[in-house]
Structure 1
């Protein structure tokens, strides 16, 4: 009897790549362009994972919708420019990320995907920069879904791959990822090296400290 298909979904920023330098720089530039006070670093990192309109609504709640939209556009332009200038170095892979992806990809019954607050353009550029084009069979981005923690990204990934909820895992560094997993009825695995404090990952089934711990965590969940 063949093993059932499994689906492993990764968040991107703060989980697979350390993009905080680019995020903070782009957010700073977008606020400065409108002569608005720049949010502190901790506040900026607290919204990583949300779609940009939701993020700006949290960072600049006292400003009008039009100003928030201008902040969104300013952020996109600044982030794109930073990525063009820095290349892959703007969002380096965390230690062990590539090895974990390659090892999971080598298992016939495991499918890999991403569920991210990044745009399609941003995700595609990142994947190309790191040579990861052939690993992810489903790519869910902010352009096509409500912001996390709405379950739409996970629901769509499952629909595209035909994997049931019991065999799907969401891996991420934020409360938004764990709440999204909960809303979609799938297992959430938190990672300790990202942008939210470990205490924010209380919805996770488990929290791993390094990518080396991921295979055992998956074995325990699926056995």
Structure 2
């Protein structure tokens, strides 16, 4: 039995626009200059307090707590709007469904989202049953700390050496490596493919179809060819 642990935002969910908008609203509501979208995109994947701390270095604990609460309040209000929807990247739902149906694989989610946020997006896209275990910012230290991966492995009864982490940021890759798992990056998210490779990703997929093929290679134990294949895809 092997396990695949997926990041959510930037990997499965195309939520960049929503996150950047909510972050701008939150900072402005506190009388602060709104961060540039590029800066916000760069911290997606981190737990909210860590992310905001990077966007506003030196923030004191009281203001940080207020910003975190404000962000969550703004997000809940946005989610309650009739036209709100966190879109998934094309083909990712189909890939998740195919993988979750395989007897030799267990799927999990490791994300900087809150439990509430994970529940909302999984329910909206009928993905709740696909993930046997979920670890969020409410459960574990922020990525790249390995706790999310290690706790998922313990729950699933799968060794980290038989586990693959799929994510779009260097934080996902560093988390996987710290836990002793393999990491695959995806090129449609937060960080560039060269950054993911430099952080230690065994491969970077340019499309969900390519990710599907790479997962098959990993599942079959063909790891030695993956770094060369990944680098060739970047040239």
Shorter-chain TM-score above 0.5 = yes
Is the 2:78–2:84 Cα contact (8 Å) retained in structure 1? no
Q: Which stretches of structure 1, 4 residues or more, deviate above 4 A after TM superposition?
A: none
Q: Work out the number of aligned pairs and report it.
A: 218
TM-score calculated relative to the size of structure 1: 0.94
1:220 aligned partner: 217
CA distance in 2, matches of 1:158, 1:62: 35
Select the residue among 159, 182, 201 that pairs with 1:204: 201
Are the structure 2 counterparts of residues 201 and 108 from structure 1 closer, same or farther at C-alpha, using a change threshold of 3 Å?
Answer: same
Are the structure 2 counterparts of residues 19 and 136 from structure 1 closer, same or farther at C-alpha, using a change threshold of 3 Å?
Answer: same
Structure 2: segments with no counterpart, 5+ residues = 222-235
Is the 2:44–2:51 Cα contact (8 Å) retained in structure 1? yes
- Answering whether residue 69 of structure 2 is matched by residue 73 of structure 1, we say yes
Q: CA RMSD in A?
A: 1.2
TM-score calculated relative to the size of structure 2: 0.90
Is the 2:22–2:74 Cα contact (8 Å) retained in structure 1? yes
Structure 1, 102-111 or 11-20: larger mean CA deviation:
102-111
- Answering whether residue 52 of structure 2 is matched by residue 56 of structure 1, we say yes
1:31-72, CA deviations, whole angstroms, 9 ceiling, x for partnerless residues? 011110011110011110111111111011133221111111
Is the 1:48–1:195 Cα contact (8 Å) retained in structure 2? yes
1:124 aligned partner: 119
State the structure with bigger RCO (CA 8 A, min sep 6), 1 or 2. 1
CA distance in 1, matches of 2:155, 2:141: 17
1:153-198, CA deviations, whole angstroms, 9 ceiling, x for partnerless residues? 0000000000112210000000000000000000000000001222
1:187 aligned partner: 182
Is the 1:7–1:168 Cα contact (8 Å) retained in structure 2? yes
CA distance in 2, matches of 1:212, 1:88: 28
